Amino acid sequence: MKRVSNNPYPASGVLTPQDGLQSFEAGRLRKNMGWRLYLQTVIARAYPRIIGQGREKSWLFFDIFLPLLSVCAYVFVYRAIRAPEDYIGFVVVGGAMTAFWMNVLWSMSSQLYWEKEQGNLALFIMTPTSMMAILLGMALGGLLSTTLRALVIIILGSLFFNVQYAVSSFVQLFAVFILAMLALYGLGMMAASLYLLLSREAWHISNLATEPVYLFSGFYFPIKSFTFWISAVASIIPLTLGLDAMRQLVFKSGPSLGFVSVPIEIIVLCVLSIVFLIAARYMLAYMEKLAIREGRITENRR
């Protein structure tokens, strides 16, 4: 196999399939290496996540419709007990954020288990690329498509229930959202490495992690309702502080119902993002070795 000539890369920096084909026809095999390969992997794994949305349009409907049903039910509970109107908004925002938790749980954490079931995991590990890049691609693709779904839920929920917003700082709101997502998907990547070792129990564990997280992260009520220490422990899940900060920033009564101040929550979310992303990298490397050693990469116990 010939090495690539002095500068084999196009002006864009990353080889496209056409570049590869041309170089193959010219008798040379050029390939992306290093950060280019990493970037190419990220794009390649994010691609089906985004394009896949359009392939099965009914899924898009169900992904929006099902959380919206829960949102409506919880809104009517608050109406039945005559809760202040801002609580209706809390439910709408919380209901939209469930889409992200579902995405992290079922399409990030358990993804490597599904890939194992389908026989793709061994192929992923065989390829000369980084598993971290594959997970990052999954996260980026999932984040983009889930954001669109969450936005639709917020818009429809707000229209149905006439939710009034009073945004105090768009900059902080944007920062909180981005940091919460970074930390959340970092947590998802960490969890994905654990799922490398799981088998039949993966489905049940994901199923189990739904309601308890809805409860302790305060998806439908302010987290301040718990004692300080319960809220503090629950803050390990990035959506807890993310949701609390967002509510403080978009509702009039938000600051009075907030757990701690928004700047503190931003700092904690920064720390969680860094810790989770670094931990994901090391855990993935360790778990991959462990899974290979124990022969669990191709294991299929149904």
Partner 1 sequence: MHTSKLQTTQNPLSGYSRSFRIAAWLGWQIESNWTDPFLFAIYSIIKPLAGAAILVVMYSVITSGNFSSPIFSYIYLGNAFYIYVGAVMTGISWAVMDDREHYKTLKYMYIAPINIQAYLIGRGVAKFLVGSISVIITIVFGVLFLHVNVNPAAINWPLFLVSLVIGVIMLAMMGLILAGVSLLITQHVSFIGDAVAGALFLFSGAIFPLEVLPSWLRPIGFAMPVTYWLELLRRSLVGHVAEAFPTLQNLSNIQLIAIMLGLTFVFGVISIFLFRFCEHIARERGLIDKVSNY
Q: Which residues lie near partner 1 (CB under 8 A)?
A: 56, 58-59, 62, 65-66, 69-70, 72-74, 76-84, 87, 118, 200-201, 204, 207-208, 210-212, 214-215, 219-222, 225-226, 302
**Nearest-approach distance from CB 213 to partner 1, in angstroms:** 8
Question: Which residue's CB is nearer to partner 1, number 200 or number 289?
Answer: 200
Alpha-carbon torsion, ordered 270, 158, 76, 65, to 10 deg: -80
258 with 224: CB under 8 angstroms? yes
**Nearest-approach distance from CB 52 to partner 1, in angstroms:** 9
**Nearest-approach distance from CB 302 to partner 1, in angstroms:** 6
Question: Which residue's CB is nearer to partner 1, number 68 or number 287?
Answer: 68
**Nearest-approach distance from CB 214 to partner 1, in angstroms:** 6
Question: Which residue's CB is nearer to partner 1, number 59 or number 174?
Answer: 59
Say how many C-beta atoms besides its own lie within 10 A of residue 170's C-beta.
10
**Nearest-approach distance from CB 226 to partner 1, in angstroms:** 8
Question: Which residue's CB is nearer to partner 1, number 78 or number 251?
Answer: 78
For 137, the token pair is 């691609």
> In sequence order, what are the residues at sequence separation of 6 or more whose Cβ sits closer than 8 angstroms to the Cβ of residue 75?
88, 91, 92, 157, 161
Q: How far apart are CA 302 and CA 201, in angstroms?
A: 9
Q: How far apart are CA 142 and CA 185, in angstroms?
A: 9
Please give the angle made by the CA atoms of 126, 128 and 133, to the nearest 5 degrees: 100
Question: Which residue's CB is nearer to partner 1, number 78 or number 276?
Answer: 78
On the 0-12 / 13-18 / 19+ scale of CB atoms within 10 A, 295 is exposed
Question: Which residue's CB is nearer to partner 1, number 21 or number 51?
Answer: 51
Question: Which residue's CB is nearer to partner 1, number 124 or number 219?
Answer: 219
Residues in the chain: 302
**Nearest-approach distance from CB 215 to partner 1, in angstroms:** 5
- Amino acid residing at 175: A
Rg of the chain, C-alpha, whole Å: 22
Alpha-carbon torsion, ordered 263, 147, 91, 258, to 10 deg: 0
**Nearest-approach distance from CB 203 to partner 1, in angstroms:** 8
